[in-house]
Structure 1
Amino acid sequence: MKNFLFLTVTILLLSACSSKKSLISKSFERQLSSAFYQNQFTGVLVIDAETKDTIYTNNSHKYFTPASNTKIFTLFAALKTLPAQIPALKYVEVNDTLYFEGTGDPSFLHGYIKDSTALKFLQNHSNLVFVSNNFQDKKYGPGWAWDDYQWYYSAEKSALPINGNVVMTYKSPELMVSPSYFKDSVLELTHLNHRNETSNTFYYPPTKKDTLETPFITSNQITQSILENLLSKKIGNVSTMPTGEKQTLYGPYADSLYIRMMHESDNFIAEQLLLVSAGVLTDTLNGKLTRDYILENELKNLKQEPRWVDGSGLSRYNLFTPQNMVSVLDQLFTLVPQERLFSIFPAGGLSGTLKNRYAGDEEPYVFAKSGSLSNNYCLSGYLVANSGKVLIFSFMNNHFKQSTSEERNRLEQMLQTLRDTY
C-alpha cells in the first residue's frame, strides 16, 4: 500500500511538472515565432537549479555575441582564483627602500570604490621604487572599438591603475580635477571630443554641471608621475624586483569589486580582475593567462568551447552559447551561498542595470546580468518562481534592428511566464 501511494504521488508530481513545462514551452514558442523575432537570432535555455531538468531550450547550443554577459565568466574566474581581499601591491624591502609593483587592483583611489590602502602604505615609506615590468598585456582588448578611447567605459588596462584610469572633472563651483596631476591638462572649453586621441589633453564644456569621466593615456611614466604628485616625493623606477621574497599588501574585500562590476557593468573592473587573477596564478599580469587557466581547468567540460577574449564583453570577438552561460551560472549557484550570490547580481526593479526593469510585485524575482551592444541584448542569471523554485536561465538576442526597449519588454513577458507558471 505504501509503495502504491508513493508511486501515485510520484506520477502526479511528474505529471504536474510536465504540464508546467508544456505551458511554458507553448507560451515561449508562440512568442518566439512571432514576426518580431523572425529577422534576428535568439537562443534560450532555462533549467531547474535543483533538479537540473531542462524547462525550455531553443538554439541553446549555438554561439552568440554575449556583450556584458561575459562578466559572468569573469566573476567565476575571480571567485575561483582570488582571496577574500584583493591583492593591492606586491613589494620587497631592501634596507630603507621599498620596491613595489602593481597587481592590477582596480580599487586604488577608484572614484566609486575609493580604496586608499595602497596609498597609505606608500605614504609610510620614505624611499620608494616602482617596478614596472610585470604588465604583459595590451592596454585595450582585441576587437574593442578604436573610437571609444574617450568614453569612461573604455579605460585602458594597466598594472597599477589610479582613479580607475580616468580623469574625473566637475564644478564645485570651481573646476575640480582628479587625479590632480592632470589639473593643467584640462581645458575649459567646448570641443567635439572629451580628450585628444593621442595625448592627455582634456576638454570640459564651460556650461557642463555634472561629472565627466574621461580615460587618460597610461604609461609607466604617467603612473610614476601621478604617484609622485599624490605622495609629494620622488619615486625611482626599475624594471625588475631585487632578490627576495615578495610580500603582498591586501586591499578591499573582493565582493565590493564584484558587486560594482556586475551591478554597474563596470568594464574597467572586469578587465583588471582578470589581471589580478593572472598575477595570483603566475606573477605576470596578462588576462589571457587567466582565461586559458579557467577554460582548461575549471570549465574543461563545457559542451561548446567558447571564444573568450576579454573580461568585460566590449569585444564582438567573444562567442558564447546559452548552454555555456547556464553551465557557469549553475556552478556559481553551487559554489556561492544563495544570499551572497544574489547580492552580487543586479536585482530586477531594485539595483544596478536592472533597477528599472523586471520588477517583482513585492520583492525581486530576477537576479541577472544584462549585456548590451548595438543590435544585441542578452540576459542571464537566476529567477525565483512563485513556487519558490529557483531557475537558471540565459536569453541571448543578436542582430535585431528593433529597439532594445522592445526586446526587454518581450523578454520580461517570458520571465513573468516562468515566474507565474513553474
Structure 2
Amino acid sequence: MEKIIISKNLYAHPLSMNRIILIFSLSLVLAGCSASRQRRLHKNIVTIINSRQFKNQFTGYIVFDPITKDTISNYNSEKYFLPASNTKIFTLYTALQLLADRIPSIKYISQNDTLYVEGTGDPSALHPFFKDSTLLHFLKKAKNIALHLNNFDGNSFGPGWAWEDYDHYYAPERNSLPLYGNVTFISNIDSLRIIPSYFKDSIVFSTAAKKRKLHQNVFYFDSLRKDTLEVPIITYANLTKELLETATHKKIELVSEMPAGKKEVLYGILSDSLYKRMMYESDNFIAEQLLIVSSSTLNDTINSTIARDHILVNQLSNLRQPPRWVDGSGLSRYNLFTPESMMIVLQKMYAELPKDRLFSLFPAGGKKGTLIDLFKGNPKPYVFAKSGSMGNTYCLSGYLLTNSGKTLIFSFMNNHYRQSTNNIKKEMTSIFELLRDTY
C-alpha cells in the first residue's frame, strides 16, 4: 500500500520525478569522475613504478580505501615478497587478538609454602627500558620459589636467521622467561656499567670485531667506546635461576614440572607499551616474545608456531595468498607475504581499533620511530606505517591520510634491488605525496 501512495505522489508532482532523474544522473557523473580520477592516479603511480629507479628490481604494492572498499591502485599485489620487519604487522595483529590490556607475566600455583612459577615469554621482566618490577616484587613475597622452565617448546633462534648475527643486539635468543631482554648492556660513559651486574667479571676489553664468544657468555668491549653496547646472552635454565636469585636475594629451585591444579596469571605492564616499542624501534626481541606470550593464552606449552597457526586458521582464514610466516620479527628470509595479505590485516585492525589508538601504535612519518626522518608531513604526519629493511629489501605498509580527509591503507614492497635504499625511499615519497594531494 505504501508503494502505491509514493507512486501516485510522483505522478502528481512531475518535478519530483525530474529531481530524481537529475540526482541519478549527477550520481552517475560523479561516479564516472571518481573512476576517471582513480584511473589517472593509478596510471601516474604505474608510470613512476616503470621508471628507471624501479626497473631492475621486484616491486609490488596495493592502495585501498577502507570506506568505499575500492582498490585505488595495485601492481603485483598478489605476488609474494620478502617482508623483513613488515612481519611485525602480523605479530601486532596476533597480540591484539590474543592478549589482554596487560601482559601476562608468569603463571603460578601456590602450594603449601612454595610458589611454583613458569614463564609466559613476557619480554619486559627486568628490562632496563621498561623498568617493570612486577615479577620481582611478586617473587620477593614468596617463602619458597620453584621455577619451571620446560614449557617452552621451541628453538632459541628462528628458522632462517643468520648464524653470524649471534652477537648483534637485534638477534637475542628466545625462551620462556627472558630477563633483561636476554641482552647484556655495557656502557662506559662515566664509569663502566654492566646490566645485569652478574656479568661484571665476564667483560674482556678488546677491539675484536665480534662482541661475544660464540658459545660462551664472555663479552668483548672497547674501553674507548662511549655509547652503550647491547650483546645477546646465551640463555639456559641455570643462568635464569641465578639471575633471579641475584635479583630477589632468594634461593630458587628448578623443577621439571608444575604441580597439578589451576594456574593463576600474574599480569605485568600495559600491552601497548610493548607494541609501541616493537613498532617504533622495530624491536625483534619483543616481536619474537610477543608471539610466545600469545601462545601462552592458548596452551600450557608455549611456542610461537602455536600462535601463528591459530591466527591463520581462525582470524585470517580468508587470505587469498596465505603467507609463509616463520617468525615474529621478520629476521628470517624464509618469510613470504603479499602486499594484498598485508593490506587485509591492516584493514582488519582499522575496523576493530579506535583510529587514535591504532595510529599511536605505528611510527609516524617525520615524527617518531623508524620514520622520524622520512615521509614528513607539513605540518602534521600523513603516513603511519611499519617499515621493513634488510639487504636488498625495503618494505613499508600502513595508513596514509589524504588532504581531503580520507584514510588509505597501503602496502609497498621492494625486493632484490642493488641500488641505494635512499633512492627507493625518494620515489616512494613521490607516490605517497601524489596520493595525499590528489585523492
Q: TM-score range by the shorter chain?
A: over 0.9
RMSD over aligned Cα, in angstroms? Answer: 1.0
Matched, 1:336 2:347: no
Letter in 2 for 1:360: G
Which residue among 329, 344, 351 is the counterpart of 2:368?
351
> Which of structures 1 and 2 has the bigger CA Rg?
2
Matched, 1:388 2:405: yes
User: How many pairs are equivalent?
Assistant: 422
Matched, 1:155 2:172: yes
TM-score, normalising length: structure 2: 0.95
Letter in 1 for 2:28: I
Cross-structure match for 2:252? 235
**Equivalents in 2 of 1:400, 1:325: separation in Å?**
21
The offset of 1:248, in angstroms, is 0.5
Cross-structure match for 2:293? 276
Which residue among 405, 412, 416 is the counterpart of 2:429?
412
Q: What is the DSSP-based 3-state SS (H/G/I as helix, E as strand, rest coil) of the residue aligned with 1:199?
A: coil
Unaligned runs of 5+ in 2: 1-17
Cross-structure match for 2:220? 203
Q: Is the 8 A contact 2:53 2:424 kept in 1?
A: no
Which residue among 292, 313, 322 is the counterpart of 1:305?
322
Cross-structure match for 2:334? 317
Q: What is the DSSP-based 3-state SS (H/G/I as helix, E as strand, rest coil) of the residue aligned with 2:208?
A: coil
Q: What is the DSSP-based 3-state SS (H/G/I as helix, E as strand, rest coil) of the residue aligned with 2:184?
A: strand
Cross-structure match for 1:13? 30
Matched, 1:138 2:149: no
Matched, 1:66 2:66: no
Which residue among 287, 290, 306 is the counterpart of 1:289?
306
The offset of 1:190, in angstroms, is 2.1
The offset of 1:7, in angstroms, is 1.2
**Equivalents in 2 of 1:54, 1:244: separation in Å?**
52
**Equivalents in 1 of 2:183, 2:349: separation in Å?**
31
**Equivalents in 2 of 1:13, 1:337: separation in Å?**
30
**Equivalents in 1 of 2:22, 2:109: separation in Å?**
71
The offset of 1:215, in angstroms, is 0.2
Cross-structure match for 2:3? none
Is 105-114 or 70-79 further displaced after alignment?
A: 105-114
The offset of 1:310, in angstroms, is 0.3
Which residue among 96, 101, 110 is the counterpart of 1:84?
101
Is 121-130 or 339-348 further displaced after alignment?
A: 121-130
**Equivalents in 1 of 2:201, 2:276: separation in Å?**
34
The offset of 1:172, in angstroms, is 4.6
Letter in 2 for 1:325: M
The offset of 1:36, in angstroms, is 1.9
Unaligned runs of 5+ in 1: none
Cross-structure match for 1:186? 203
**Deviation digits for residues 155-202 of structure 1, max 9, x if unmatched?**
000101011100001125221100111111112232221100110000
**Equivalents in 2 of 1:249, 1:91: separation in Å?**
8
TM-score, normalising length: structure 1: 0.98
Q: What is the DSSP-based 3-state SS (H/G/I as helix, E as strand, rest coil) of the residue aligned with 2:279?
A: helix
Letter in 1 for 2:63: V
The offset of 1:50, in angstroms, is 0.8
**Equivalents in 2 of 1:238, 1:81: separation in Å?**
28
Q: What is the DSSP-based 3-state SS (H/G/I as helix, E as strand, rest coil) of the residue aligned with 1:262?
A: helix
